[in-house]
Amino acid sequence: MLTLKQCGCTTRQIEMMQRLNCETPMEVLSLYPFRYECLEAVPFSEWKIHDKVCFEGALVNLARPVRLKGGRTMTRFLVETEEEIFEVTIFNRPWVSNIQVGNRITVIGRYDGACKVTAIQYNTKPLQQQLGITPVYPMKEGMRQSSIYNVIKKVFMAAFSQVEEGIPQDLKERYRLLDKKTALRCIHFPRTMNDVTQAIRTLKYEEFLHFHLALLMRKQTGYQATGTGKKFNRQRIEQCMNNLPFECTPDQKTTILEILDDLQKDKNMVRLVQGDVGCGKTVVAAMSMLASVDAHKQAALMAPTEILAKQHYQSLQSLLKDEHVRIACLVSAMSEKEKRQILEDLKSGAINMIVGTHALIQKNVEFHDLGLVIADEQHRFGVNQRKALKEKGTKVDFLLMSATPIPRTLANTLYGDMDVSTIHTLPSGRKPVMTQLVKKNSLSLILDELMEALAANQQIYVICAAIEENEAYDARNVLDIADALSKVFFGVGRVGVLHGKMSAEEKEEVMNQFQNNQIQILVSTTVVEVGVNVINATVMVIYDAHRFGLSQLHQLRGRVQRGSVQGKCYLLTDSKDSDALKRLDVLVKCSDGFEISRQDLMLRGPGDLLGTRQSGLPVLHLGNLFEDEKMIVCAKLDAQNILKQPENIEYRTLIERLQYTYQSELD
């Protein structure tokens, strides 16, 4: 395939496309419009108030801008057509006054009745040349639609002959799809909206087909290594599970048994355990690690933060206190002497289980015989980080844990190369957090409730979206709020601060003080989102709640769901945006993390939940994981069938091309 330079793009055009994450001609051609402007000349006699209209005529009078408050301008002028004279108003376009009286002008805008039009835009190009369908592309500040369109047109003309077909002929015929070249022409240069519909249908299917093929190939190659299954005493593991000071939920037991089955197989385990906040995934991890150790293998648990790593370490020590295993924790904040001793004991096999952050994947970390890797909050680790830890042993089983649960059918689509275990039920005694939407970005309306909580010796989280004041980001910040609350709660409770710019030692000190109730009000960023467990903290206040995603808010409020006391969460916002308030209302009415995650995905799209950018899998530009369920199912079945027929030349060509494109990931 040609380069963008070979397609005739200038240095400035190449830099512009790089800002849009387009490095190659095919990436440029995959920059699809997100909507289309349909411009049609309708006779004046058919215009209705509020209709979008367009017309061409002669400028009757010299346009003169009028200055308004806030630096805005309003310009009025008259335009004469063959049918009428229209009074046109346009805002913030003072340069229209540069057009000479009598010159032809095209106006596009909204009809307000009585021959009055509020213009959206104007130009001096003949109307006839502008009629039809115009694609509108995503862009960044300083870019123009015409500039993006010109690059796409240039690349399309230059690279057209090199566009490779992405769907086998028999599948195109079965589903009446377009060929790839025609689909690209129809999506970028459509003659009718039917062109657009057919192009999107074709390109969506191609995305899903390639995605499933890549997943299935990854499952067949990189994750299907074999060895000898682990031999351990299942009765010992099940007895340990039954001897815990609490009863495991049915879902926890089922998940543990599924993992034990996987560990005994000769094929590598690659399993995702997903469950709502507080569902008890740490117990599952503990039993899995114990089984690995019982098979004379080491087990490693990787957490995204030092706070969470240390918490897992403490939990494992508590859960496995009667089992003769040695557990260690490796984090950056430790002294060099401590690290050196742990590394020596890990290499000799004296340490059975290790918990840590990304420090575990450093080159100087060597295991005696690593048999199991667990990655908590797996979406926070890139696939290369997970792979680096997994490669520190032979026939290493891999367990991923996620507290961002999604419906099983969707999980099977997104994580088609893994087995999925789902924990729905929460441990007994856990009460859903009472959530209240406060339409004011201030504590004034809930101050009495906070005082009552402190009087009852309960603790409070206060979450802010920013660390410090920032002119470019209008949100409450940790430092200012902490300063203000120190005055509000003077003599009632001590205020502490926690944020990402603090050193590991500072964070640990603050969290220890909060856990020991030496700090009663902790003002923090979302660093407390994952895993932090302070049972006495029962109240959470979240400033600027509209700035967070639903799943993130649900994760945050899970911090006040750890004990038997009723947890409360107050969502503060001064947003007047109806969509934002509708999103927050979902949290008020719903406590099911699976449903919240589904709503979040529907409202904001899958984003990087797929991890496609970091995992090397095909990106979904057009596919909608909820609206296109039937197409997803068809594409998955077709992908399975393609891989079963390697003798089919067309199928084999497609497989080889995908293998070449995603080689590093499949390896």
Q: What is the pLDDT of residues 485-500, one digit of tens each?
A: 999 999 999 999 998 8
User: Do the strands 537-542 and 459-463 form a parallel or antiparallel pair, or are they unpaired?
Assistant: parallel
- Residues 395, 458: one domain? no
Answer yes or no: is pLDDT of 308 > 90: no
What is the number of domains present in the chain?
Answer: 3
| 330-to-323, 386, 515, 532 alpha-carbon distances in Å | 21, 16, 21, 18
Q: What is the pLDDT of residues 544-599, one digit of tens each?
A: 999 988 888 988 898 887 777 889 999 999 998 888 898 899 999 988 887 887 77
What span, in angstroms and rounded, lies between the C-alpha atoms of 330 and 338? 9
Tell me which of 129, 161, 181 is where a domain ends.
129
Print burial letters for 479-510: b (CB count within 10 Å at least 16), e (below 16). eebbeebbebbeeebbbbbbbeebebeebbeb
- Residues 66, 125: one domain? yes
What span, in angstroms and rounded, lies between the C-alpha atoms of 65 and 54? 22
- Residues 366, 439: one domain? no
Structure-model confidence comparison of residues 415 and 617, the more confident one: 415
Tokens 């090397």 sit at which residue?
616
Angle, alpha carbons 319-322-323 (nearest 5°)? 90
How many C-beta atoms lie closer than 10 Å to residue 402's C-beta? 22
| Assigned domain for 595 exists | no
- Looking at residue 414, its pLDDT comes to 65
| 592-to-344, 378, 589 alpha-carbon distances in Å | 45, 21, 10
For 561, how many CA atoms within 13 A lie in the half-sphere containing its CB?
Answer: 25
What span, in angstroms and rounded, lies between the C-alpha atoms of 633 and 212? 10
- Output the average pLDDT for the chain: 87
Judging by beta carbons within 10 Å of its beta carbon (0-12, 13-18, 19+), is residue 49 exposed, middle or buried?
A: exposed
Tell me which of 129, 157, 190 is where a domain ends.
129
Q: How far is CA 390 from the centre of its chain?
A: 24
What span, in angstroms and rounded, lies between the C-alpha atoms of 616 and 609? 13
- Looking at residue 559, its pLDDT comes to 86
Answer yes or no: is pLDDT of 223 > 90: no
SS3 232: coil
Judging by beta carbons within 10 Å of its beta carbon (0-12, 13-18, 19+), is residue 463 exposed, middle or buried?
A: buried
**Residue 407 banded pLDDT, cuts 50, 70, 90:** low
- Residues 392, 478: one domain? no
Answer yes or no: is pLDDT of 600 > 60: yes
| Sign of the C-alpha dihedral computed for residues 342, 347, 353 and 356 taken in this order | positive
| Assigned domain for 224 exists | no
Answer yes or no: is pLDDT of 222 > 60: no
- Residues 244, 368: one domain? yes
Task: Name residue 374's beta-bridge partners.
Answer: 301, 399
Residue 329, domain CATH = 3.40.50.300
Structure-model confidence comparison of residues 345 and 413, the more confident one: 345
For 369, how many CA atoms within 13 A lie in the half-sphere containing its CB?
Answer: 9
- Looking at residue 607, its pLDDT comes to 44
- Residues 439, 418: one domain? no
**CB proximity list for 197: less than 8 A, separation 6 or greater:** none
Structure tokens at 537: 């903290």
Report the percentage of the chain scoring pLDDT > 90.
Answer: 54
- Residues 370, 446: one domain? no
Contacts of residues 322-325 at CB distance under 8 Å and 24 or more positions apart, as own/partner, are: 322/240, 322/243, 323/240, 323/290, 325/290, 325/293, 325/352, 325/353
Lowest-confidence region among 254-258, 282-286, 612-616? 612-616
**Residue 218 banded pLDDT, cuts 50, 70, 90:** confident
| Sign of the C-alpha dihedral computed for residues 121, 126, 127 and 133 taken in this order | negative
What span, in angstroms and rounded, lies between the C-alpha atoms of 364 and 344? 10
Tokens 């630096």 sit at which residue?
71
- Residues 383, 445: one domain? no
- Residues 402, 461: one domain? no
Answer yes or no: is pLDDT of 378 > 70: no
- Residues 325, 465: one domain? no
Answer yes or no: is pLDDT of 42 > 80: yes
**Residue 113 banded pLDDT, cuts 50, 70, 90:** very high
Average pLDDT for 186-196: 94
Radius of gyration of the chain (CA): 30
| Assigned domain for 455 exists | yes
Report the percentage of the chain scoring pLDDT > 70.
Answer: 90
DSSP conformation class of 239: H
Is the pTM higher than 0.85? no
How many C-beta atoms lie closer than 10 Å to residue 418's C-beta? 21
Chain length of the chain? 667
Tell me which of 79, 109, 129 is where a domain ends.
129
**SS3 annotation, 159-201:** HHHHCCCCCCHHHHHHHCCCCHHHHHHHHHCCCCHHHHHHHHH
- Residues 460, 312: one domain? no
- Looking at residue 613, its pLDDT comes to 39
Residue 120, domain CATH = 2.40.50.140
Q: What is the pLDDT of residues 428-485, one digit of tens each?
A: 767 789 999 999 999 999 999 999 999 999 999 999 988 877 655 678 899 999 999 9
- Looking at residue 612, its pLDDT comes to 40
How many C-beta atoms lie closer than 10 Å to residue 210's C-beta? 23
- Residues 383, 460: one domain? no
Q: What is the pLDDT of residues 159-168, one digit of tens each?
A: 999 999 999 9
| Assigned domain for 652 exists | no
- Looking at residue 440, its pLDDT comes to 93
* Dihedral angle over CA of 645, 647, 650, 655, nearest 10: 60
**CB proximity list for 480: less than 8 A, separation 6 or greater:** 468, 469
DSSP conformation class of 360: G
**Residue 362 banded pLDDT, cuts 50, 70, 90:** confident
Answer yes or no: is pLDDT of 74 > 70: yes
Nearest to 628 by CA among 204, 245, 209: 204
Q: Which residue segment(s) compose the domain that 109 sits in? A: 41-129
- Looking at residue 448, its pLDDT comes to 94
**Residue 379 banded pLDDT, cuts 50, 70, 90:** low
**Residue 279 banded pLDDT, cuts 50, 70, 90:** confident
Tokens 């830890």 sit at which residue?
389
